[in-house]
Amino acid sequence: MEKKQQIREFEELKAGVKELLGFNVFQYKDSYIGRRFDSRLRAYHLETYDAYWDLLRRDAKEQERLLQELTINVTEFFRDQPVFDVLRQQIIPCLLTKKGKIRVWSAGSSDGKEAYSLSMLFNEALGEQQAAARVEILGTDIDADCLDHAKLGKYECHPGILQTDIVKQLRFLPNPDHFFVIQGNQYSVKPAVKSLVRFEYHDLISGPKKQNIDIILCRNVVIYFTRELQEVLYQDFFNALNPGGFFVMGKTETLVGPSRSMFTPFNLAERIYQKT
Ligand SMILES: C[S@@+](CC[C@H](N)C(=O)[O-])C[C@H]1O[C@@H](n2cnc3c(N)ncnc32)[C@H](O)[C@@H]1O
């Protein structure tokens, strides 16, 4: 197909998807959206974006599948363990010196493993009762299935498959069974861990701005957003933090735009910044 026509069809498909699914593909990098579309085209052996659009607008199941494809939600407990070392050894002790509630936000929380990992660290540092009294963790995402899964707090462990090998991921903890009810392959987060965490729908692109947060983790989410949007989001995160608050990015993400001079590096290797 001619390149010009392919670009036209791609743009039309993007517009159609935004209208049909309410997912703003225009705020994501074309390379990312293109890979997601192409993978759906391949699934149906289709050659053109027009042909895929024809199928998509009539097939509710495919609409669901495309949404899932667009919101990749790979995650793990204690993903990038060195980051959680810094949280455990430096950031949490530092925040415990402050009076009042400690408010944590896992932005793009997927099925909740990141938010629950943080809850386990606070439970470990403070004990159940103190942690419940002092810490509030908010997990937000735009994927409704992920949010349902997160609220349920039950995870299947399949040893050998990295993403679901919970045993490996939990090596970070001295006593994993302290935080989970383990029945065969099923790991259910215990009430003490759950009680610190709340999950809600929130679109980082169009949702209301947050405030009064002490730690924001937004990892492996904005990497798919356009640079312009990343600039805006990083400033939003800066504004959302309390003075002294921490911003934790993904390992492959970097600050862009004015936020580079707003944040103070706290641990560059682990991509952790502070609002000083
Ligand atoms: C790859 S997962 C990252 C999960 C976790 N932060 C981690 O690093 O393990 C990316 C998550 O971002 C969510 N996401 C994508 N676009 C979003 C948006 N505009 N607002 C909120 N969440 C979004 C996806 O639904 C997905 O669950």
145-164 residue pLDDT tens:
899 999 999 999 888 766 78
**Per-residue model confidence (pLDDT) at position 252:** 86
230 lines ligand 1 (CB under 6 A): no
123 lines ligand 1 (CB under 6 A): no
The average pLDDT across 101-125 equals 97
Q: Which DSSP category does 144 fall into?
A: H
The CATH class for the domain spanning 81-274 reads: alpha beta
The domain ranges of the chain are 3-70, 81-274
**What's the helix, strand, coil split of the chain in %, to 5?**
50, 20, 30
Rounded to whole angstroms, the Cα distance separating 187 from 22 reads 34
CB atoms within 10 A of CB 88: 19
The number of angstroms, rounded, from the C-alpha of 188 to the middle of its chain's C-alpha atoms is: 20
Q: For residue range 195-209, list pLDDT tens digits in order.
A: 999 999 999 999 999
74 lines ligand 1 (CB under 6 A): yes
Rounded to whole angstroms, the Cα distance separating 219 from 75 reads 10
CA 217 to ligand 1 centroid distance, Å: 11
Q: For residue range 17-41, list pLDDT tens digits in order.
A: 999 988 889 988 999 899 999 999 9
Give 212: exposed, middle or buried? Use CB within 10 Å, 0-12, 13-18, 19+: exposed
CA 144 to ligand 1 centroid distance, Å: 12
**Per-residue model confidence (pLDDT) at position 204:** 96
Query: Atom of ligand 1 at shortest distance to CA of 250?
Result: 8
C-alpha angle 46-48-51 in degrees, rounded to nearest 5: 70
